[in-house]
Structure 1
Amino acid sequence: MTVSQGSLGLLKVLAVTALTFAVGTLVMLYVILLLARYGANLPMIGSLPLSAPPEMVPLLADNRLFTTLAAVHVTVSGLALLITSNTIDMGLLIVSKAVTVVITALLGFVGGHMAFLQITEGTAFALSPLTPVLIVLVGFWLLSTLLSVPTLRQLGNLRFVVAVALVLLGPMVLVAL
Structure 2
Amino acid sequence: MSQGSLDLLKVLAVTALTFAVGTLVMLYVILLLAQYGANLPMVGSLPLRAPPEIVPLLADNRLFTTLAAVHVTATGLALLITSNTIDMALLIVSKAVTVVITALLGFVGGHMAYLQLTEGTAFALSPLTPVAIVLVGFWVLSTILSVPTLRQLGNLRFVVAIGLVLVGPLVLVAL
Residue 60 (structure 1) shift: 1.1
Residue 61 (structure 1) shift: 1.1
Q: Separation in 2 of the partners of 1:170 and 1:13?
A: 27
1:74 to 58, 65, 72: 72
- Residue 37 of structure 2 corresponds to which residue in structure 1? 39
Structure 1: gaps spanning 5 or more residues: none
Q: Separation in 2 of the partners of 1:76 and 1:12?
A: 27
TM superposition score normalised by structure 2:
0.95
- Residue 129 of structure 1 corresponds to which residue in structure 2? 127
> What does 1:45-124 align with in structure 2 at a 5 Å threshold?
47-49=48-50, 54-124=52-122
**Aligned-residue CA RMSD (Å):** 1.1
Residue 148 (structure 1) shift: 0.1
1:163 to 145, 161, 164: 161
> What does 1:19-34 align with in structure 2 at a 5 Å threshold?
19-34=17-32
Amino acid paired to 2:33? L
Amino acid paired to 1:110? V
Deviations 1:87-135 (A, max 9, x none): 0000000000000000000000010001000000001111000011110
TM superposition score normalised by structure 1:
0.94
Q: Separation in 2 of the partners of 1:44 and 1:100?
A: 33
Of the structure 1 ranges 32-41 and 65-74, higher mean CA displacement relative to structure 2 is found in 32-41
**Partner SS for 2:11:** helix
Percent identical pairs in the alignment equals: 86
Amino acid paired to 1:160? F
Q: Separation in 2 of the partners of 1:163 and 1:70?
A: 15
- Residue 153 of structure 1 corresponds to which residue in structure 2? 151
Aligned length: 171
- Residue 144 of structure 1 corresponds to which residue in structure 2? 142
